[in-house]
Amino acid sequence: MEFTVVAAAHPLTVWLYEDGDPSTMILDYEILDASGGTLECGHQRPADAGS
């Protein structure tokens, strides 16, 4: 699997494509944190980010 990451000061976006083909974007997936917990979709910031 290939993926593209777009990052700025705080946001991180990951687009998952099968074989690098954007017409076959993977829509059934889970994003896990370092401890194995599932991260929910949406805007998330580290606890010390001040918001």
Indicate if the alpha-carbon torsion angle 35, 11, 45, 29 is positive or negative.
negative
What is the structure's pLDDT at 18?
65
What are residue 9's DSSP bridge partners?
none
* pTM of structure: 0.34
Indicate if the alpha-carbon torsion angle 51, 47, 36, 34 is positive or negative.
positive
What are residue 15's DSSP bridge partners?
4
pLDDT tens digit sequence for 28-39: 677 777 788 887
Q: What percent of the chain has pLDDT over 70?
A: 24
Per-domain boundaries in the chain: 2-38
